[in-house]
Amino acid sequence: MIEYIESIGWVSVREHGIHKIETGVSDVNSVLAKVDDLIPVTEANLYKDTLV
C-alpha cells in the first residue's frame, strides 16, 4: 500500500510533518509526538552517554 501511495506522488507522513515544521504550521514537539522516526537516532548515539 505504501509503495502505491508513493507511486502516485504522495509524500510520507514523516516528510509531511517536516514540511509543516518548515512552513511554521506546526512545532517540532507536536509533530514528534505523532511521527515515529522524525529525528533518526543511531544506536551509537542512543547509548553514547552511557558508554563512557
Domain ranges of the chain: 2-46
State mean pLDDT over 31-51: 77
Cα–Cα distance for residue pair 36/34, rounded to 1 Å? 7
Q: CA triplet 6, 21, 26: central angle to 5 degrees? A: 110
**Residue type at 34 in one-letter notation:** K
The dihedral sign for the CA sequence 25, 28, 34, 36: positive
Please count the other Cβ atoms lying within 10 Å of the Cβ belonging to residue 18: 18
Tell me which of 2 and 11 has the higher pLDDT: 11
State mean pLDDT over 26-33: 93
Cα–Cα distance for residue pair 39/10, rounded to 1 Å? 20
- Asked whether the predicted pLDDT for residue 41 surpasses 80, the reply is no
